Structure 1
Amino acid sequence: MSSGQVEIWAGPVPNPQNAEAQNIGKIIARLDQLPEGKWVDFPCCTMNVMNSVKTKYPEVVAAMVQVTKDVSEYAQTHREETADLMTEFIGLDKAVLMKNDTTYQTAITEHFTNGMHTYYEAMSEIGKFTGRLKDQPMDVVMKSVFDFSFVK
């Protein structure tokens, strides 16, 4: 954007906030402001584990999920402290990081499920599913891909 070759861009926090702070971009909408409400708390990240690892080392997977939950809860409830830590880690100004409006959570909410359905529809439309997931309904894909038994 700083070179003038890009006119519009969408990206994850803190990139839009950083572009705005450098006066090379402007945030025109957040996900929660987009139509239909389907982008509110849209899922961005998942933990991927091979079934063999999950079966052989369930206590390790449970510990990893617990750490992820603890870190998410800390980031959600301690925004300023998290910004201090991230300033040191990624080198952005704290003021930029404090503009982060991400919801950090590990709960399986309606927003999460709706977001996964949006992903599913988009991936289906462009033919990304092959093999056992090709032409399967959403509930079958969700059960095949996600194991929420470690999320308490």
Structure 2
Amino acid sequence: MLFRLKEKNIRLVLLLLVLTLMVGCSGSTEADNTEIPDLKVAYVFTNHQTPLMVAASRAEAFEADGTWLKTVIEREQYVLMQGDEPIANIDLIVNKNGSETMTMMTQGHVDLALASSAAFIAAVDKGAELKMLCPVHTEGIGLVMAQDADVDNWEAFASMTRESDAPVMVGYHSPTSAPVILFAAALDDAGLSYTKNPDDVTADILLVDLKGTNNLLPALTSQQVEAWVGPSPYPELAVTEGVGKMVLDLREMPPAGKWHDFPCCVAGATQAAIENHGEAVEAFTRLLTVAADYAANHPEEAAQITSDFTGVSLEAARMSEIKYTTNPSETWVTNLGLVYDVLHESDGLNEQFADKSYVETHDEIFDFSFIHSIMGQ
């Protein structure tokens, strides 16, 4: 009887020991998983967002720069590293456009993203708690015409529009896109009139909404328009596919220098990510800075990476004139005001920003604290 009691006690002790070890191991695993945050990063297949593709493609090759990605699954999952220290688990998500990205961010499905500045501004107006952290590129916008057009520069284009008996039809892919905003502002400066009303035959230029970048090249071949303004890589594709020629890079429009550093895509974060995972947000911003610098200084390698990621021909990727940078320069911030004003005038900002000027919104749409820290400003 005594032996049986001892045997039962031994079994009970062993069972408790096993359970204790299981709980201990389970607790340790949970702690390990929660040591660093899981962050979802969204982007779009465009060479405007090449810095993120460079960061993912080069991954461990940036280890010497201090901030880098450890590959888990290529193009999908990484660990954001600062030296030897893991900072965050990163999941890359490909979206169709900035609108989809903003929806996912406001729903809590995305923490960090690359998207157009216009998309971020419009989302914050609607109540989204998001901030733009820095640009990822500037420029990369072209005016394209048919190959046989007798126009090769701004002066010839302006002269053609003034002498034409009817408005010259110029297409664009979205009413809130950087190309048409920049083009319209430059037309104003040059004293050229424009309209979006097809019944107005008094204007120099009729701006035509082609409703998407996929319609840019077909609109030229079908002669729906005589020219269009569009973002890279579409001007380059028009050239490589024999559809048209790039008359000029819009940064070269007069007055000289005014249209340099024109904004388009930016990196941004949810306010929750900034407040709860500030170290990871800063490390991610630093990584984009390293990658943007690499892309700017190694255009051939950046073109190859862009081609591999997006499927754009290497020839077209090589032709890109995009300036990769994360520096929110004074010119960049000023020109972003044009984007804001166009959104405002088109009734695209009718909630939180309905009665606010661009300057009054800076604290609501920007958080440059991370990039300024990185740049030593």
Runs (4+) of structure 1 moved beyond 4 Å? none
The one of 8, 12, 21 aligned to 2:240: 21
Q: Which AA in structure 1 matches 2:326?
A: T
CA contact (8 A) 1:72 1:105 kept: yes
Q: Is 2:262 the partner of 1:42?
A: yes
* Residues 27-106 of structure 1 aligned to structure 2 (within 5 Å): 27-36=246-255, 37-106=257-326
Rounded Cα–Cα distance in structure 2 between residues aligned with 1:120 and 1:86 = 29
Q: CA deviation at 1:100?
A: 1.0
The one of 335, 344, 361 aligned to 1:141: 361
Q: Which AA in structure 2 matches 1:88?
A: D
Q: Give the corresponding residue for 1:126.
A: 346
The one of 95, 113, 117 aligned to 2:337: 117
Q: Which AA in structure 2 matches 1:21?
A: T
Q: CA deviation at 1:58?
A: 0.6
CA contact (8 A) 1:69 1:105 kept: yes
Identity %: 27
Name which of structure 1's ranges 58-67 and 86-95 shifts more when overlaid on structure 2: 86-95
Rounded Cα–Cα distance in structure 2 between residues aligned with 1:87 and 1:80 = 11
Q: Which AA in structure 2 matches 1:110?
A: E
Gaps of 5+ in 1: none
CA contact (8 A) 1:69 1:106 kept: yes
Gaps of 5+ in 2: 1-216
Give the SS at the match of 1:48: strand
CA contact (8 A) 1:123 1:129 kept: yes
Note the alpha carbon deviations across 1:77-112, whole angstroms, 9 max, x for none: 110111122232233333322211111101111221
Rounded Cα–Cα distance in structure 2 between residues aligned with 1:48 and 1:92 = 25
CA contact (8 A) 2:299 2:318 kept: yes
The one of 217, 229, 247 aligned to 1:10: 229
Name which of structure 1's ranges 70-79 and 80-89 shifts more when overlaid on structure 2: 80-89
Q: Which AA in structure 2 matches 1:33?
A: E
Rounded Cα–Cα distance in structure 2 between residues aligned with 1:48 and 1:90 = 21
Structure number, greater radius of gyration? 2
When the two structures are aligned, how many residues end up with a matched partner?
A: 152
TM-score scaled by structure 2? 0.38
Q: CA deviation at 1:5?
A: 5.1
CA contact (8 A) 1:41 1:111 kept: yes
Q: Give the corresponding residue for 2:168.
A: none
Q: CA deviation at 1:12?
A: 1.4
Q: CA deviation at 1:76?
A: 0.4
CA contact (8 A) 2:240 2:316 kept: yes
Rounded Cα–Cα distance in structure 2 between residues aligned with 1:104 and 1:113 = 16
Q: CA deviation at 1:44?
A: 1.2
Name which of structure 1's ranges 40-49 and 82-91 shifts more when overlaid on structure 2: 82-91
CA contact (8 A) 1:41 1:102 kept: no
CA contact (8 A) 1:38 1:114 kept: no
Query: C-alpha root-mean-square deviation of aligned residues, in Å?
Result: 1.8
CA contact (8 A) 2:344 2:350 kept: no
Higher strand content, 1 or 2: 2
